[in-house]
Amino acid sequence: MTSLCWLVAGTLSGAFYTLTLWWTVSALRPKNTVRALLLAWGGALLRSTVVAVVLTAAASHALYLALLAFAGFMVARFTLTRLIWRRLIKPELALPN
């Protein structure tokens, strides 16, 4: 795979990580503790596994590819966190459409 492909794979894994984390947090209900624990631990395991597979696969080819994948992962996490924050948590800060 080319460098661009690993950057895109890292970006997609970062988007997957951030969006599933947001979904998990929004789906938690404190009254149902067993479901909440299963959802939190299961989601964390799934997210970590996906990211670990992408980064390990990139690192098995070359270190710079792993760094590119990690850079894509971090950019996606930062960007989506900012978008979620602006659109859902602080809508008065949202950019005009």
What pTM was estimated for this model as a whole? Answer: 0.82
Range of the domain at 63: 3-93
| 69 in Cβ contact with 9 (< 8 Å) | yes
The segment with the largest mean pLDDT, out of 15-29, 53-67, 77-91, is 53-67
pLDDT at 89 exceeding the cut of 70: no
How many domains does the chain fold into?
1
Task: Give CA–CA dist 60/44, Å, rounded.
Answer: 24
Q: Which residue has the tokens 């997210």?
A: 47
Average pLDDT, the chain: 89
